[in-house]
Amino acid sequence: MTTSMDETRIRTEGLNLFYGPKQALKSVSVDLKKSRVTALIGPSGCGKSTFLRALNRMNDLIDDVHVEGKVLIEGVDIYDPKVDVVELRKRVGMIFQKSNPFPKSIYENVAYGPRINGVNDRSKLDEMVERSLRQAALWDEVKDDLTKSGLALSGGQQQRLCIARAMAVNPEILLMDEPASALDPIATAKIEELIYQLKSTYTIVIVTHNMQQAARVSDDTAFFYLGELIEMDETKKMFTAPSKKQTEDYVTGRFG
């Protein structure tokens, strides 16, 4: 990566998203930068998760979703009919709110992505599994029982396993949908530290309900309300001197 810190990786232009007749996103235009962590905040139902899932077209799985406007990743509109969704999702990884390891061994969980990409060479898989688990700061805890079921791990370990699994396909972007909301404070701290370490390699977009978490982990923050992007700026500024009244009310806990 030879680009400057400020280069745009994801840009949305007038993004509207409808679930049937209900509009969930209203003309969202935003630039998300490389090598930065962007936090999406806002009250429940404000559209931040919907926005996140629009970035790797996970909303496609729901019946009756209709999208207008553009989502450009590296300048390419991902809603263009010519775009291969499967390829897109390899480049844009996703971590879900509820950790969802496959009912397989730790090793097979991480090897899942490489395997579907046709990697079958054992030594190559070994290497990818180790690298991903190390990146997810899980290797030292599980290296001796890689054959153990992924479901036998603790909640925090499961979530880091999911992060390792996502990283094994070498995405450029990681989308995280409240990745720590179901975890205890210690596990949460580990995930946050991990996010901090990963941001040099990945563009990270994280949805969070937790203001302190947004303030701790993110460089930029976007505030959504009722499907609209109210304000987006550097996190420091958003939490100290937001330019919109609604943002200030929300970050100071006056509503939400």
Which residues are at the interface with another protein (CB under 8 A)?
A: 56, 58, 61, 63-64, 86-90, 93-94, 96, 98, 100-103, 112-113, 116-117, 162, 165-166, 169
CA dist., res. 222 & res. 230, Å (int) = 8
* Smallest distance, another protein to C-beta of residue 18, A: 16
* Smallest distance, another protein to C-beta of residue 85, A: 9
* Smallest distance, another protein to C-beta of residue 93, A: 7
CA dist., res. 7 & res. 5, Å (int) = 6
Distance of CA 157 to the CA centre of its chain: 17
Nearer to another protein (CB atom), residue 150 or residue 242 = 150
* Smallest distance, another protein to C-beta of residue 87, A: 7
- β-strands 22-33, 8-19 pairing: antiparallel
Nearer to another protein (CB atom), residue 117 or residue 252 = 117
Query: How distant, in Å, are the alpha carbons of 31, 100, 225 from that of 23?
Result: 21, 29, 13
Nearer to another protein (CB atom), residue 56 or residue 246 = 56
CB 155 within 8 A of CB 181: no
CA dist., res. 43 & res. 227, Å (int) = 10
* Smallest distance, another protein to C-beta of residue 94, A: 4
* Smallest distance, another protein to C-beta of residue 2, A: 25
CA dist., res. 256 & res. 254, Å (int) = 7
Which residues make Cβ contacts (< 8 Å) with residue 109, sequence separation at least 6?
A: 101, 102, 150, 161, 164, 165
Nearer to another protein (CB atom), residue 29 or residue 120 = 120
Nearer to another protein (CB atom), residue 96 or residue 196 = 96
CA dist., res. 198 & res. 232, Å (int) = 22
Q: Kindly state the DSSP code that residue 41 receives in the 8-state scheme.
A: E
* 3-state SS class at 155: helix
Nearer to another protein (CB atom), residue 32 or residue 110 = 110
